[in-house]
Amino acid sequence: MKILTGNSNLPLARAIADYLELPLTDASVRRFADEEVFVEIHENVRGEDVFVVQSTSYPCNDNLMELLICIDALRRASAARITAVTPYFGYARQDRKPGPRTPISAKLVANLITEAGADRVLAVDLHAGQIQGFFDIPTDNLYAAPVMAADIMERYDAQSLMVVSPDVGGVVRARALAKRLGENVPLSIVDKRRDKPGSSEVMNIIGDVKDRACILIDDIIDSGGTLCNAAEALMAAGAASVTAYLTHGVLSGKAVERVNNSALKELVITDSIQPTEATAASDRIRVLSIAPLVGEAIRRIADESSVSSLFD
């Protein structure tokens, strides 16, 4: 088994390699003067089970090309099996046609990864579960919920908790987290109306959040508008505090500034995307590592053992 990485999230790749007690595969992933991506693998991978760790986060297109070219280089070097490990799968929000003459880009990216030569895909908290069906190769979707639940139970009394979904679409995710935290942990929903992409208007809170330590749970935070509006509405409804747990900290534009000025007690994200300097400098944002989770899944795939039992 070998671990190869692109440039999108080197700290996470190194942490995964450390967990597996393996060195990262010696390779160069660099640019020509015109920004063309070039990959050269400096050690033998013939007959090896190779895992390519690469989040397709910002700059999304560059990191996606790095992933595709790494896979192609491994295929031409006769690797026995190639697994694309994408802790953050870019383009996942384009999983359906929201209107006429629009693409389903998540399916296109799935086709590209498959055609490049990947034999398997490993992702974390895909934005939409049906994306697994976009691939014609085995696809494992890991959940960060166990990591988040362990952190929440260390810091909060289960009797005071309330798990909150920031929209109706996230109820299944919120219910799964609430179940992990305890049978009696209640669930609430923020009912909102979105007028256009990137903006949202909170309408009302479904559930009694008064004097509760509210845990907002979602998979992606991008601009942060939805989350900050939800936190403000929850506090206005009498919540004792609002903490948000999200898997993928995209945090584009002024998102970090928005979080710093919000009603949120804390925003907790994972390192599926390498935190920016602004994110790391914020005293309102904390990062949990998913390296042990991804590393253990990689070990089990290599050993041909159960991955789903990680979440039992």
- The annotated binding site for D-ribose 5-phosphate is made up of 194, 218, 222-226
Q: Specify the pairing of strand 139-142 against strand 49-53.
A: unpaired
Rg (CA), the chain: 20
CA 17 to chain centre: 19
CA dist., res. 236 & res. 258, Å (int)? 18
Residue tagged 């006769």 (tokens): 78
Task: Tell me the CB-side half-sphere exposure of residue 147, using CA atoms within 13 A.
Answer: 22
- Residue 312 in 3-state DSSP? coil
CA dist., res. 277 & res. 140, Å (int)? 31
Q: Is there a contact between 25 and 16 (Cβ–Cβ < 8 Å)?
A: no
Q: Record the tokens describing residue 271, joined without a space.
A: 């390192």
CA dist., res. 105 & res. 36, Å (int)? 22
Catalytic residue among 107, 179, 192, 254: 192
Q: List phi, psi (to 5°) of 288.
A: -100, 145
Residue tagged 């929201």 (tokens): 98
CA dist., res. 224 & res. 298, Å (int)? 31
Q: Is there a contact between 270 and 250 (Cβ–Cβ < 8 Å)?
A: no
Annotated binding site for ATP: 34-36, 93-94
192 is catalytic: yes
Annotated binding site: 34-36, 93-94, 127, 167, 194, 218, 222-226
Return the active site residues.
192
